[in-house]
């Protein structure tokens, strides 16, 4: 049993946070497109960002900010324009955005972090942003998480949000998060934005380490289509408003906090994978028996990212040979005679030998997932064992449907 419980409130569930989401006129669709997350006090800040050599201006800005100062009070996110590959003017727009929101909040611009999402190569519509900033500040609320979650999405079909609560030193501690992502999803990192708030007291160095490990076990373990982007950002704030003793080193309390942080990130990551463009189900791959966790995750990610596996799942075809092939090319050595593959409860390969199984029933299992309730009965489970090692890893993806091509063929037209 998990040592925490799910609560309502998203990113405003932790104490001392407000959020807002408004329509500023940045998206051509006229949908909400400007989000703000605000901590009432200075919060420890950590971030994990895209590894792409082509980085959006907001990513470069946040990297520099966090290197100089590991704290922040505000995160401003615009949707509609990625402000990536926009040259010097794009970076100047980012600096202006930080200054404008800082002035409106009456804080230092050094306490502002930024994120953008949208079409690469397009600058932020600064006139719309300037006029939107007073409105988004005025809309800040302790119940504003849902509005913020709705203002950061682009091709997403649903918003992604979660909040969990545990007890540390006899006081409740909460972590909340929102995310966006649907296409161009693949480690490292997926095309996604995720924002996490926490009310624990934790040292900057430890908070950054926790977030990096949580990212590896969540956002860096999902795939939709093998593509990553220019704007990928995971930003986490911890403002200490739970009034718990400071967590400054590894130990039981740090482990509990990191486990809950990882659970928040994994929920958001699975929600992104399930909302993959054109997807009908979530695929969860569990690998056991590897030498270590990294090896197990590598195999799991390779299987989850295989276009052939994803296509077979969409077609309700229990073609375990594609799973075996993906595991074999993952770059992790193992003995073929140790390989075991299960699809749901259907054992298909044991000790490297194919087994008889009810193909019609296995196909029905896949079909049932494609019409199952969102993040409840819509998961296809692939279990793979490669030996007797202690390494265990998971990855998540989705099936590959006809609609994926249609959505991305018409993205800017």
Query: What residues are annotated to the active site?
Result: 191
Contact 114, 62 (CB under 8 A): yes
**DSSP assignment of 233-284, as one string?**
EEEEEE--TT-PPPB-SSSHHHHHHHHHHHHHHHHHHHHHHHT-TT--SEEE
Q: At what angle do helices 307-314 and 293-305 cross, to 10 degrees?
A: 60
| Helix H or strand E segment including 208 | helix 204-216
CB neighbours of 169 closer than 8 A, spacing ≥ 6?
244, 245, 253
Q: Taking Cα atoms as reference points, which of 177, 127, 152 lies closest to residue 13? A: 177
Under a CB-based contact definition with an 8 Å cutoff, are residues 380 and 313 in contact?
A: yes
CA distances for 363 relative to 107, 273, 381, 398, angstroms: 57, 22, 13, 16
In this structure, the chain runs to a length of 413
Nearest partner of 118 among 86, 94, 153, judged by Cα? 153
């Amino acid at each position: 049993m998990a040592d925490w419980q799910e609560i309502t409130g998203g990113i405003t569930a932790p104490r001392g946070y407000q959020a807002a989401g408004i329509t500023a006129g940045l998206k051509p669709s006229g949908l909400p497109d400007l989000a703000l997350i605000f901590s009432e006090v200075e919060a420890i800040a950590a971030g994990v960002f895209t590894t792409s050599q082509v980085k959006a201006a907001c990513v470069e800005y946040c990297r520099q900010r966090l290197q100089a100062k590991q704290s922040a009070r505000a995160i401003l996110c615009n949707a509609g324009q990625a402000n990536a590959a926009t040259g010097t003017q794009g970076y100047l727009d980012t600096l202006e955005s930080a200054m404008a929101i800082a002035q409106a909040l009456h804080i230092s611009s050094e306490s502002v972090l930024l994120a953008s999402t949208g079409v690469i190569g397009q600058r932020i519509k600064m006139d719309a942003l300037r006029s939107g900033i007073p409105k988004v500040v005025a809309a800040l609320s302790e119940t504003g998480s849902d509005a913020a979650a709705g203002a950061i999405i682009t091709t997403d079909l649903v918003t992604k949000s979660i909040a969990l609560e545990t007890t540390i030193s006899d006081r409740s501690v909460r972590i909340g998060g929102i995310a966006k992502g649907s296409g161009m999803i693949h480690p490292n990192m997926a095309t996604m934005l995720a924002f996490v708030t926490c009310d624990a007291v934790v040292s900057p160095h430890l908070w950054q380490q926790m977030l990096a490990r949580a990212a590896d076990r969540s956002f860096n373990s999902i795939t939709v289509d093998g593509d990553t982007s220019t704007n990928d950002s995971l930003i986490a704030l911890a403002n200490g408003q739970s009034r718990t003793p400071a967590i400054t080193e590894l130990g039981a309390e740090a482990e509990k906090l990191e486990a809950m942080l990882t659970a928040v990130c994994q929920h958001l990551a699975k929600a992104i994978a399930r909302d993959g463009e054109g997807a009908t189900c979530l695929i969860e791959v569990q690998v056991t028996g590897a030498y270590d966790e990294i090896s197990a995750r590598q195999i799991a990610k390779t299987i989850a990212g295989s276009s052939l596996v994803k296509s077979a799942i969409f077609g309700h075809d229990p073609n375990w040979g594609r799973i075996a092939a993906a595991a074999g090319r993952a770059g992790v050595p193992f003995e073929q005679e140790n390989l075991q593959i299960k699809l749901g409860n259907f054992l298909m390969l044991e000790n490297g030998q194919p087994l008889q199984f009810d193909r019609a029933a296995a196909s029905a299992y896949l079909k049932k997932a494609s019409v199952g309730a969102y993040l409840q009965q819509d998961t296809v489970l692939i279990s793979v064992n490669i030996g007797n090692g202690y390494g265990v890893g998971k990855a998540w993806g989705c099936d590959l449907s006809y609609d994926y091509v249609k959505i991305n063929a018409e993205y800017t037209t």
